[in-house]
Amino acid sequence: MKLLEDRIRQDGQVLGADVLKVDSFLNHQVDPDLMTALGEEFYRRFQGVPITKILTVESSGIAPALATGMAFHKPVVFARKHKSLTLKDHLYTAEVYSFTKKTANTIAIAEKFLTAADHVLVIDDFLANGQAVEGLLDIIQQAGATLEGVGVVIEKRFQKGRKLLDDRHIHTEALASIAAFENGQVVFSPDEKE
């Protein structure tokens, strides 16, 4: 998606060997007009798929997931990473390991917000090693819901997440696909969708 690639070229910062900092429009400060455009693009790419619910993980997945829910007019549920006073019982949980932080986190979704009747579109900001998405897939399975696809704003093709989803024949859409970082610059994969 050209709009997003241009924004990444303009405002993204490559940190070290494998991290892209996009905190001026996605991960800390959020650009609502860009989010609206991303949501509409996910809608276009998953048009005709019978989606009943958008699923993400707090915190950085929420902005693009909400924009997508607004395009589909479907509810958005975000898995929580922290224990909550009001979220204690009747939960689906999954362990998510972060290679970046070398820690494991438990994510949780209340059972009442995901059922066997749901057809789910998973949305996230980054697809890196795919551990967050794996955790959501585990929860979708526990609920007996149907996974219809995965949409990520930015994928890093050189990490193992995309292959993991492709190996399972999951319909995956990335709005910006990064092949590599070279000399502090982003090299995008060709976008077949445009």
Peptide bond into 59 cis (omega under 30): yes
- Interaction of residue 164 with ligand G4P, rule CB under 6 A: no
Annotated binding-site residue? 130: yes
Q: Rounded to an integer, what distance in angstroms lies between the CA atom of residue 100 and that of residue 19? A: 9
- Interaction of residue 25 with ligand G4P, rule CB under 6 A: no
Q: What is the Cα 82 distance to its own chain's centre?
A: 18
Residue 129: CB atoms within 10 A of its CB come to 17
Is 112 or 126 the residue whose CB approaches ligand G4P more closely?
Answer: 126
CB 65 within 8 A of CB 53: no
Quick one: which of 53, 107, 54, 110 has its CA closest to 80?
A: 107
Find the binding residues for ligand G4P in span 55-84 (CB under 6 A).
Answer: 57, 59-61
Find the binding residues for Na ion in span 42-101 (CB under 5 A).
Answer: 60-61
Residue ranges in contact with Na ion by CB under 5 A: 60-61, 125
Q: Which residues are annotated as a binding site for xanthine?
A: 20, 27, 156
Residue ranges in contact with ligand G4P by CB under 6 A: 19-22, 27, 57, 59-61, 98-100, 125-132, 156, 161
